[in-house]
A = this chain, B = another copy of it.
Amino acid sequence: MDKQKIVAVDAMGGDHAPQEIVLGAVEAVKELDVKVLLVGREEILTSLLEKESYPKEKISIVPASEVIETGEVPTSAIRRKKDSSLVVGLNLLKKGEADAFVSAGSTGALLVGALTIVGRLPGVERPVLGTCLPTLNGFTFLVDSGANVDCKAKYLEQFAKMGSVYVQNLFGIENPKVALVNIGAEKEKGNALTKEAYDLLEASGLHFTGNIEPRNIPYGEADVVVCDGFVGNTVLKLSEGLVMSLMKIIKSEITQGSYKIAAAMLKKPFGNIKKRFDSDEVGGAPFLGLKQLVVKAHGSSKAKAIKNAIRQCCIFIETDVTGQLREKMAEQNEQEEA
């Protein structure tokens, strides 16, 4: 039998914490072969758990009296709030008491905390958030989807390398196509960052296919699309907002007068489309380049998203994403030094 997988969850982070986080953990342990450590205010968590029925041995509470709020400056919050759910959770990971840590709290605080407590893999300058974006023919893996808002070209090259290792290992895509998000297809186009990154990517040994214009991202022309975290988060969040608002526009157009009947007939296919673009179905984005497994769940995560983030952790643990990255990044560093 495999070793029991243990996922620590920040019960206090996110817009719907702690209620929805607790419910997500409950759903997860019912469905999955996993043990969850809920990190947060003991009394609140105890009272929330008391209302639920689930295999009791599969959820434990790890007390943490403080909460890092979304508006706080990450570095000082991590330093001051030693007993926050985020810091306590990351320490569980460090001490080997958990295999993964999930938080729907502040991305900045999670990144700073992870860097400080868990640390980077050798050779990695900046860990990166990677997110699967739905496309016409499947998905594309977006790095950085929001961790590093000010980047050097060198970071983008590393994001591309880590993204490639990730999609190759997790999805079995051989020699994944990597493209640089840019506002023009030609090499000469873009800003100072993309121009420099283009040259590095071209010389990287990756399967670099050149620039991808944002309009083409939804068509799935590349397996990995690379950009800084500001642009990546813009791509991610605008996609969500646009799909949702477009569905609203469609709904308001086709539920008027004589179209109502036709609209009613199409409920099922529209439901399928919505599901395809529902970020809750994925649940979380892994930080690539850390020594251990840290997963960022969407700030607006409800129970389903948390459950799916925990499910993702289980897959990451099984496929040993961190170990694979450690190996590949070390290999590449050796090659560079040679």
Contacts and interface: CB of A to CB of B under 8 A. Distances in A.
Interface string A47-73: 000000000000000000000001111
Contact of A253 (B214, B249, B272): B272
B230 A190 contact: yes
B238 A238 contact: yes
Contacts of A261: 262, 265
A173 interface: no
A273 interface: yes
Interface in A223-270: 229-231, 233-235, 237-246, 248-250, 253-254, 256, 258-259, 261-263, 265-266, 269-270
Interface in A202-237: 213-219, 229-231, 233-235, 237
A273 to B, nearest CB: 6
A218 B234 contact: no
Interface of A (DSSP majority class): helix
A237 B135 contact: no
A146 interface: yes
Contacts of A273: 246, 249-250, 253
Interface residues of A, number: 61
Contacts of A245: 135-136, 218-219
A176 to B, nearest CB: 21
Given A192-B150, A218-B241, A237-B183, A269 B246 contact: no
A294 to B, nearest CB: 19
Contact of A234 (B214, B248, B253, B259): B214
A215 to B, nearest CB: 3
B253 A237 contact: no
A234 B181 contact: yes
A149 interface: yes
The 4 closest A-B pairs by CB, nearest first: A215-B241, A214-B238, A218-B245, A149-B191
Interface of A: 70-73, 108, 135-136, 146, 149-150, 181, 183-184, 186, 188-192, 194, 213-219, 229-231, 233-235, 237-246, 248-250, 253-254, 256, 258-259, 261-263, 265-266, 269-270, 272-273, 276
